[in-house]
Amino acid sequence: MNRSHDHDMAVSLTQHDRSRRAFVATLRSHVLQRMAGDLRQHFEGTVGPEHEKLGAPLESPEAIHEALKPELPFKAYSSVRTSAQEMVFDVVSDAVDRELETLNERAAQPAKKGSLTLNPALPLPKSVTGIDVHLSPGAYHEERADNDVSAGAVYDNSIDVFAFGQFGKRHNDIGATLSNYLRLKFPEFVPTSILDCGCTIGHNTLPWAETYPDAEVTAIDVAAPVLRYAHARAESMGVPVDFRQMNATAMDFEDEQFDVVFSSMFMHELPLKHIQQYLKEAFRVLKPGGVLWQMELPPMNAMPLYENFYMNWDTYYNNEPYYGTFRKQDYRRLLTDAGFAADDFIEATMPRYTFIGEAAFAESIHSDNTFDTLTGRMDPKGTRWYGFGAWKR
Ligand SMILES: C[S@@+](CC[C@H](N)C(=O)[O-])C[C@H]1O[C@@H](n2cnc3c(N)ncnc32)[C@H](O)[C@@H]1O
């Protein structure tokens, strides 16, 4: 029997588990590449030109969405993609359910390197509890037993299927890419305290401890089950991280405590008001000379029209209601409203560090930023992650 991962929170996989996972991963890859390509072709070759001929060109993502809705390639794409998304969680849950008791016990072992501080009195935001975020049943927070880690275990296993290898071997490519970008682009900046906000299972937190081994790394999330899992996973990998249950919109930290505030795929799951509160908090807890540096979906104002329609699909069909509103924002403006100076804004699109290695990555970060159809998309042809943030004076 295979193990799902190379750490102690891995689950054993039967042949049946493996073939179901392989099927869904292949289906996801098929829909995101082949069916997405067919859909684009249908738009560019038929629906777009037809509207132009009628003198009513499709000039916004919303107009493209409305025009494609009745079309068969769109219906097929959307229904297969939605079903594949639901299947991701379905096919990984069997193995997690079988071993849940053991996983929960394992996670309760005393810490050796890092720490876990939970706050059972913390009110959970409705944006987490009110919906099954990205169609994941129970999302991040649902507790099924004492000391439950099931949401974390499902999340870790679901990435294997959902990302079909595109997040790197330990699902850590985003953290590795953003931390190594800072290290290589700003070699004189050596942070000693790093905070990851909305860390989930810490897969993109751990690379920060590897990139900056002398730094203290702290990671926060509102959801206890994913934090328990994150802590146990990090302990078994021997990486010291302090995980704390905390709301990023109202942090318990002192002012000016961190050199780096990082987040990854976090803000697009927050209502705009919470994004604004979080960014003010990030500014407050950063030391002068520190940096806010976050991986996110690229903003609508930097991407071509069709990509904006395509990326915003999740807002309508994947239980990601805040996605579209977030992408519409002027990101620099979001940061200046939170206290950062406009001139201190930084952004980059980056190739994947763990895929191309140090030398090619170092070379790439000195070339121009490119926003293209691979930016922010999972694609074996070579995803580029988008990062933005600002230095604090
Ligand atoms: C999409 S996941 C982030 C994934 C992860 N950072 C990564 O790199 O893949 C969003 C996470 O943010 C957490 N979260 C949502 N609202 C939060 C808030 N206000 N404060 C802290 N964590 C929050 C959720 O519980 C969830 O674990």
Is the CB of 124 within 6 Å of ligand 1?
no
Q: What would the 3-class secondary structure string for 23-61 be?
A: HHHHHHHHHHHHHHHHHHHHHHHHHHHHHHHCCCCCCCH
State in Å: Cα 199 to ligand 1 middle: 6
Quickly state the pLDDT bin for 3 (edges 50, 70, 90).
confident
Q: What is the pLDDT of residue 270?
A: 97
Quickly state the pLDDT bin for 375 (edges 50, 70, 90).
confident
- Ligand 1 pocket test: which of 221, 262, 279, 318 has the largest number of ligand atoms within 8 Å of its C-beta? 221
Domains parsed from the chain with CATH numbers: 2-112+126-162 (no CATH), 173-391 (3.40.50.150)
Is the CB of 200 within 6 Å of ligand 1?
yes
What is the reported pTM? 0.95
Amino acid identity, residue 300? M
Is the CB of 279 within 6 Å of ligand 1?
no
State in Å: Cα 57 to ligand 1 middle: 38
Q: What is the pLDDT of residue 152?
A: 97
State in Å: Cα 197 to ligand 1 middle: 7
Please check the confidence at residue 14 and state whether its pLDDT lies above 90: yes
State in Å: Cα 373 to ligand 1 middle: 26
Q: What is the pLDDT of residue 371?
A: 77
Classify 247 in phi/psi space as left (phi over 0), alpha (psi -120 to 50) or beta. beta
Give percent above pLDDT 70 in the chain. Answer: 99
Please check the confidence at residue 382 and state whether its pLDDT lies above 80: no
Q: What is the pLDDT of residue 12?
A: 94
Is the CB of 152 within 6 Å of ligand 1?
no
State in Å: Cα 154 to ligand 1 middle: 15
Q: What is the pLDDT of residue 319?
A: 87
Give percent above pLDDT 90 in the chain. Answer: 83
Q: What are 384's strand-pairing partners?
A: 351, 375
Q: What is the mean pLDDT of residues 79-93?
A: 95
Is the CB of 193 within 6 Å of ligand 1?
no
Is the CB of 269 within 6 Å of ligand 1?
yes
Q: What is the pLDDT of residue 181?
A: 97
Q: Radius of gyration of the chain from Cα atoms?
A: 21
Q: What is the pLDDT of residue 135?
A: 83
Please check whether residue 262 is in contact with residue 296, taking contact to mean a CB–CB distance below 8 angstroms: no
Helix (H) or strand (E) holding 92: helix 72-107
Is the CB of 29 within 6 Å of ligand 1?
no
Q: What is the pLDDT of residue 199?
A: 98
Please check the confidence at residue 361 and state whether its pLDDT lies above 80: yes
Q: What is the pLDDT of residue 368?
A: 63
Q: What is the pLDDT of residue 1?
A: 54
Please check the confidence at residue 369 and state whether its pLDDT lies above 60: yes
Tell me the pLDDT tens digit for each residue of 264-314: 999 999 999 999 999 999 999 999 999 999 999 999 999 999 999 999 999
Axis crossing angle, helix 150-162 with helix 15-30, rounded to the nearest 10: 60
Task: Choose among 141, 151, 138: nearest CA to 100.
Answer: 151
State in Å: Cα 82 to ligand 1 middle: 22
Q: Is 165 exposed, middle or buried (0-12, 13-18, 19+ CB in 10 A)?
A: middle
Tell me the pLDDT tens digit for each residue of 36-64: 999 999 999 999 999 999 999 999 999 99
Q: What is the pLDDT of residue 255?
A: 98
Tell me the pLDDT tens digit for each residue of 132-165: 878 888 788 889 888 999 999 999 999 989 887 8
Task: Choose among 253, 143, 112: nearest CA to 196.
Answer: 253
Atom index in ligand 1 nearest the CA of residue 295 equals: 8
Please check the confidence at residue 340 and state whether its pLDDT lies above 80: yes
Quickly state the pLDDT bin for 173 (edges 50, 70, 90).
very high
Tell me the pLDDT tens digit for each residue of 107-117: 999 888 999 99
Q: What is the mean pLDDT of residues 174-190?
A: 97
The overall average pLDDT reported for the chain is: 94
